[in-house]
Amino acid sequence: MEKIKAYFKRIGLEMPETIVPDSALLKKLQFAHCTTVPYENLDIIRGIPLSLDPDDLYEKIVVRGKGGFCFELNGLFGWLLRQLGYEVTDVAARYLRGESTIPMRRHRVLIVRAVDGLWCGDVGIGEVCPRYPLRLEEGLEQTQFDECYRFDKDPFLGWVLMDKYHGEWRRFYSFTEEPQLDVDFIAPTFYCEKHPDSPFFPDEMFSLKTAEGRITLDGHVYKEFRNGEMTVRELSDDELPEAYRRFGLA
């Protein structure tokens, strides 16, 4: 119980006396998580091997206050949800946004059964993405802030998350419902750490959601997205430490 309380504190929430594993709590947890725990690739850049063991993830993210990428963030978030009474299935997803061909499965997503329905939970994306869980229902348009999402079904891809961009629907990512174990994510994690085509190096890649949008740092380029508007700054080497601290990193 103390570990769960510490997790709540890490994401800026007070643990309620009575836990009801419903969508209201899930919504609060996902938003808090993605606005306090950064999406970041610092260990990959520094050559520090990643571990998907829940105890190691807890030590890194909760105890040491670091972030991670999808296999880490959604791995530990799924652990928390299970402790709170949710039924959670980890699935492997294909990240389709910006791709001209169907890519390998290199994203981790959570299917979460709450007492009031089935949801898609995800705290492991650095780009614009849902800050609240999405109901896993085909064709239902779901608006969050100034964003809109829906799920389609495809005979090969399975569930396909769509987002509306400049008035047009585009594919975001897709997944089928086969349950995955932690061991199933070791190979794609290693790909992201070491493969020359991995998008996670050579530069730092930090992102943290906010109530108005998100902040990002790619190399020396710092961006703030607020209510659909973007500001960009090219940082000097001397400014980088302060930028790191905005993401809770050092």
Rounded-to-integer distance, Cα 233 and Cα 167, Å: 28
Catalytic (active site) residue 122:
yes
Rounded-to-integer distance, Cα 82 and Cα 112, Å: 9
Q: Rounded to 5 degrees, what angle do the CA atoms 39, 44, 45 make?
A: 100
Catalytic (active site) residue 203:
no
- Exactly one of 43, 122, 163, 182 is catalytic; name it: 122
Catalytic (active site) residue 148:
no
Rounded-to-integer distance, Cα 247 and Cα 65, Å: 10
Residues 6+ apart with CB under 8 A from 206: 38, 39, 40, 41, 42, 67, 126, 216, 217, 218, 244, 247, 249
- Exactly one of 107, 120, 163, 182 is catalytic; name it: 107
- Exactly one of 33, 34, 70, 120 is catalytic; name it: 70
Nearest to residue 89, comparing CAs of 97, 81, 99, 101?
81
- Give the residue numbers marked as catalytic: 70, 107, 122
